[in-house]
Amino acid sequence: MEGQVSSLTVGLAGQRVLVTAGAGGIGLAIARELASHGCRLAVCDVSDTALAAFRMSFPDALTMKADVSDENDVARLFESAGEKLGGLDALVNNAGIAGPTGGVDEIDPVEWRRTLDICLTGQFLCARAAVPMLKAAGGGAIVNMSSSAGRHGYAYRTPYSAAKFGVVGFTLSLAKELGPSDIRVNALLPGIVAGPRMDGVISSRAAQVGVPVEEMRDRYLQNVSLRRMVDPEDVATTTAFLLSKAGRNISGQLIGVDGNVETL
């Protein structure tokens, strides 16, 4: 019936959720989806422009500039979230970067470390800060953003793939560790997500192998069973489901939102 809350999103209203890198891309889609179901949001990002636009749309949310790889930034973020929201019910560990494209002998160690710092260590730092708050709330949920690159090897994108494989191990370990505290931990593995980041990845790879961008795009999609890209909203609705009561017994899972990526 019109106006009736879907049973698949029951329990979202009033939840206190922190979304990292929530002012743009997949994070923004997740924040919008959760806000539409009545969640109270805290969002961080590194882009002043994106944060300013987010504040215009969501004036009641906590918005804060923070780099998830910086321990001091993370500490301030969670302290502010606790003060603003009065606690925390869920964490969406979304922040990440694409990292460099190149052969292993071409990659700058500084770029390697930066990719792992943001995509993997950042999730550890945020979970480390969130868990005491989730325990104080009597339980909750963590959704970690991995990637289809965390399931398949990804030639010429080794820093990114290594980090996303790390997220998988981190997620499975946390699910076991935190289950007795009624904290569910899952990882989402998006595939080829439409947007500026994927456009940049495809363009870089096309330039590296010397083919037109559209040809490289077609090559990527030939490895997807459904032959199409994923929209950020696809990832957002899956996140909402995992945080809802409908997802109360889902933990320790690696959920592909990718149209079935067969290989990378």
pLDDT of residue 13 exceeding 60, the answer is yes
Band of pLDDT at residue 6, cut at 50, 70 and 90: low
Q: Which residue has the higher pLDDT, 194 or 6?
A: 194
Count structural domains, the chain: 1
Domain contains 204? no
Measured between its terminal Cα atoms, the distance across the chain in Å is 42
Domain contains 215? no
Question: pLDDT by residue (tens digit) across 198-226?
Answer: 888 899 889 988 999 999 999 999 999 99
Domain contains 249? yes
Q: Which structural domain range is residue 241 located in?
A: 7-193+231-257
Catalytic residue among 154, 156, 160, 220: 160
Domain contains 50? yes
**What CATH number does the domain containing 117 carry?**
3.40.50.720
With a pLDDT cut of 70, the percent of the chain lying above it is 98
Question: pLDDT by residue (tens digit) across 106-119?
Answer: 999 999 999 999 99
pLDDT (0 to 100) of residue 264: 87
Domain contains 90? yes
- For the question of whether the overall pTM of this predicted structure is more than 0.75, the answer is yes
Average pLDDT of every residue of the chain: 95
pLDDT (0 to 100) of residue 2: 45
Domain contains 226? no
- Average pLDDT rounded to a whole number, residues 159-184: 98
pLDDT of residue 5 exceeding 70, the answer is no
State how far the alpha carbon of 168 is from the alpha carbons of 18, 50, 150, 184, 186, in Å: 20, 28, 7, 14, 9
pLDDT of residue 1 exceeding 50, the answer is no
Question: pLDDT by residue (tens digit) across 185-197?
Answer: 999 999 999 988 8
Q: Quote the CA–CA distance of 96 and 165 in Å, as a whole number.
A: 13
Active site residue 154: no
Residue type present at position 261: V
Q: Which residue has the higher pLDDT, 197 or 162?
A: 162
